[in-house]
Amino acid sequence: MKIKRSERLIDMTHYLLERPHDLVPLTYFAKRYGSAKSSISEDLAIVKHTFQERGIGIVETVPGVTGGARYIPYILKEEADEFINGMIDTLNSKNRFLPGGYIYMSDILGQPTLLNKIGRIIATQYLNKSIDAVLTVATRGVPLAEATASYLNVPLVIARHDSQITEGSTISVNYVSGFSKKVKKMTLSKRSLPEGANVLIIDDYLRGGGTIKGLESLINEFNCNLVGSSVFVEGTHTGQRKVEDYTSLLEMHIGEDEIKVTAGNYENRIFGIEE
């Protein structure tokens, strides 16, 4: 039985959404549905139009015999702004304040729909960059880093504070943690990053920048290239930051007896004309 266009469009949408950045050959779809390539081309044009119209992402079509289609996720500025404003309201609620100038946000960093939105916003900045891996350090940044890696469809690599026997040979670096001012160590399996890889750093929180700096030295030790660093929240910091070049979605202003959350530098960094 011949497969109807409506069925092809639904299945194609699911198939493309499941593998961001992967080039799916036209011939693959033609075989999957038993349809002529010309029909598939028409289908893809409709999918492309709708994805653009609805702010879902770009469907890049590559012409020719080896051609195909590739879905590149992004988010529109309006949708990102709306989401960030909602986050600001949520985080500014009084019952989130913890003693010592902290805000409870583990629940946010555990909600799949929020994580996916954050990941999609971060991925938008790098949609035209060549990225081979997303790097973070255990533990709190992991879900966020995974959501971002998922939209970029690249491996997630996790540095750890302890080194596990199940990781094989490792490389370690020392860094100064912003919270405790102590010298800490982070460790990464030698197998996890190939030489020359382009690496994006993701973390949940940046204060002094010590952790990001540590991840940067790890990237150097592996002879890899730093593409950028993005964090969910940056906190107030007195004195010089250890890193200057980063993107933040939110900013936390920690006062004497109150904390105020505002938008981070994402508007310029992700949607600005400067980038």
**Phi and psi at residue 49, in whole multiples of 5°?**
-60, -45
- Residues from 219 through 258 that contact a second copy (CB under 8 A): none
- Does residue number 192 form part of the binding site for a second copy (CB under 8 A)? yes
- Does residue number 53 form part of the binding site for a second copy (CB under 8 A)? yes
- CA 121-127-130 angle, to 5 degrees, is 135
> Are 170 and 194 spatial neighbours (Cβ–Cβ below 8 Å)?
no
Out of 150, 211, 229, 248, name the contact with a second copy by CB under 8 A. 150
Closer of 95 and 240 to a second copy (Cβ)? 95
Tokens for 212?
A: 């990001």
Out of 38, 85, 139, 220, name the contact with a second copy by CB under 8 A. 139
- Does residue number 60 form part of the binding site for a second copy (CB under 8 A)? no
- Minimum distance between the CB of residue 194 and a second copy, rounded to whole angstroms? 11
- Minimum distance between the CB of residue 227 and a second copy, rounded to whole angstroms? 17
Q: Please give the Cα distance from 43 to 27 (Å, whole number).
A: 13
- Does residue number 38 form part of the binding site for a second copy (CB under 8 A)? no
CA distances from residue 245 to 36, 166, 209, 213, 229 in whole angstroms, order as listed? 49, 34, 10, 11, 7
What is the 3 state secondary structure string of 174-236?
Answer: EEECCCCCCEEEEEEEHHHCCCCCEEEEEEEEECCCHHHHHHHHHHHHCCCEEEEEEEEEEEC
Closer of 113 and 238 to a second copy (Cβ)? 113
What is the number of other CB atoms lying within 10 angstroms of the CB of residue 97? Answer: 16
Window contacting a second copy (CB under 8 A); options: 2-10, 77-85, 222-230, 248-256? 2-10
- Does residue number 183 form part of the binding site for a second copy (CB under 8 A)? no
- Minimum distance between the CB of residue 115 and a second copy, rounded to whole angstroms? 7
Out of 36, 37, 38, 50, name the contact with a second copy by CB under 8 A. 50
**Overall residue count recorded for the chain in this entry:** 275
- Minimum distance between the CB of residue 43 and a second copy, rounded to whole angstroms? 9
Closer of 235 and 269 to a second copy (Cβ)? 235
Out of 2, 34, 63, 113, name the contact with a second copy by CB under 8 A. 113
| Strand arrangement, sheet containing 247-254 | 156-159, 133-137, 198-206, 225-235, 247-254, 259-263
β-strand partners of 160: 187
Q: What does the binding site for a second copy look like in residue numbers (CB under 8 A)?
A: 5-7, 9-11, 13-14, 17-19, 46-47, 49-51, 53-54, 56, 98, 100, 102-107, 110-113, 115-116, 138-140, 142-143, 146-147, 149-150, 153-158, 160, 164-168, 179, 189, 191-192
